């Protein structure tokens, strides 16, 4: 009996040891599996984050590719502003609502415009390059000339641009929506009257007061036109470039690029002018700025 009991005890002890070992192994395996699952979840989370970053980078790259590039500017001596290139268009009038600028040889037949006041006397220019007084120039009858350059006419609507405009309107304050049109028209009236200093102050004040308004890019474009009308081509060039740089999705980008090309031409930088005008034709083939750019490219 004693031997039998000892034998049973040995069997129980012998079985207990493997069972305990199996339980330990099972716990370790369970822990390892849990750690592996945690690692996999972390890797999946990182993968999703990377995919999101890649999608954002692709969207940004596509957005940047859609914005026209502008060459780096080199400062031009101020005296060059007083020298107009042959064939540089002259502002002859604006429409009554201030939405269109009309240039000599660039107005649509059958449309009328109010004449722009003569430019201020260029008394600070060097005597040999003093421009003859233009006060004696009579108002130009716009129907007697060719095509016009439109200031606020939109390019055919693009869904993405419309969405951007809609979101901009949603974020505008009641003051932006109520006062902006009157402020804009008042600034344009100053341009019509030839009060360029007051016009610049009003246009810049409009942009500062209504930075997200639909007319903000138009106001910036008018600032460029004020300097262009005074033949201050370096400053006009800088202001037109701001339209593209600050409002790359704005409807004035084609017009601003066209005038950048005109400014280059007026400054005697023919290669840059040609490249910019070609860019207008290629990027906006069905727009009026493209038509004017093509005509300018055909001119020797």
Return the minimum-mean-pLDDT range out of 7-16, 19-28, 187-196. Answer: 7-16
pTM of the predicted model over 0.85? no
DSSP state of 194: T
Predicted confidence at residue 284, as pLDDT, reads 95
pLDDT band at 201, cuts 50/70/90? Answer: very high
| Structure confidence at residue 26 (pLDDT) | 78
- What strands, in cross-sheet order, belong to the sheet with 91-94? 114-115, 91-94, 100-103, 149-150
For residues 76 and 254, the model is more confident at 254
Question: Mean of the per-residue pLDDT values for the chain?
Answer: 71
* Strand residues in 127-187 grouped as ranges (E): 149-150
How much is the average pLDDT of 101-120? 50
Decide if 240 contacts 260 (C-beta within 8 A): yes
Are residues 288 and 150 in contact, defined by beta-carbon separation less than 8 angstroms? Answer: yes
Query: According to the model, what pLDDT value does residue 177 have?
Result: 54
* Structure tokens given for 72: 């780096």
CA distance 209 to 99: 20
What's the average model confidence in pLDDT over 282-297?
A: 94
Q: What is the fold, at CATH topology level, of the domain defined by 85-121+138-298?
A: 1.25.40
Which residues fall within 8 angstroms of residue 129, CB to CB, at 6 or more apart? 79, 82, 83
């Amino acid at each position: 009996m004693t031997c039998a009991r000892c034998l049973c005890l040995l069997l129980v002890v012998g079985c207990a040891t493997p069972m305990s070992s199996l339980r330990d192994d099972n716990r370790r395996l369970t822990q390892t599996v849990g750690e592996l699952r945690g690692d996999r979840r972390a890797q999946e989370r990182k993968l999703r984050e990377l995919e999101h970053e890649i999608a954002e980078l692709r969207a940004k790259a596509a957005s940047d590719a859609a914005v026209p590039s502008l060459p780096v500017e080199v400062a031009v001596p101020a005296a060059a502003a007083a020298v107009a290139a042959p064939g540089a268009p002259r502002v002859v009038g604006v429409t009554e609502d201030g939405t269109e600028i009309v240039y000599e040889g660039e107005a649509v037949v059958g449309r009328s415009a109010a004449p722009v006041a003569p430019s201020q006397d260029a008394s600070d220019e060097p005597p040999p390059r003093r421009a003859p007084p233009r006060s004696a120039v009579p108002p130009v009858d716009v129907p007697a000339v060719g095509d016009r350059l439109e200031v606020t006419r939109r390019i055919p609507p693009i869904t993405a641009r419309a969405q951007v405009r809609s979101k901009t309107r949603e974020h505008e304050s009641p003051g932006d929506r109520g006062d902006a049109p009157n402020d804009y028209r008042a600034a344009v009236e100053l341009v019509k009257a030839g009060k360029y200093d007051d016009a610049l102050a009003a246009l810049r004040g409009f942009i500062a007061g209504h930075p997200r308004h639909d007319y903000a890019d138009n106001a910036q474009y008018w600032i460029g036109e004020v300097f262009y009308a005074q033949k201050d081509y370096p400053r006009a060039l800088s202001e037109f470039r701001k339209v593209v740089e600050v409002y790359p999705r704005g409807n004035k980008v084609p017009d601003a690029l066209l005038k950048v090309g005109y400014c280059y031409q007026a400054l005697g930088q023919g290669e840059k002018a040609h490249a910019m005008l070609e860019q207008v034709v290629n990027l906006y083939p069905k727009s009026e700025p493209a038509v004017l750019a093509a005509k300018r490219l055909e001119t020797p």
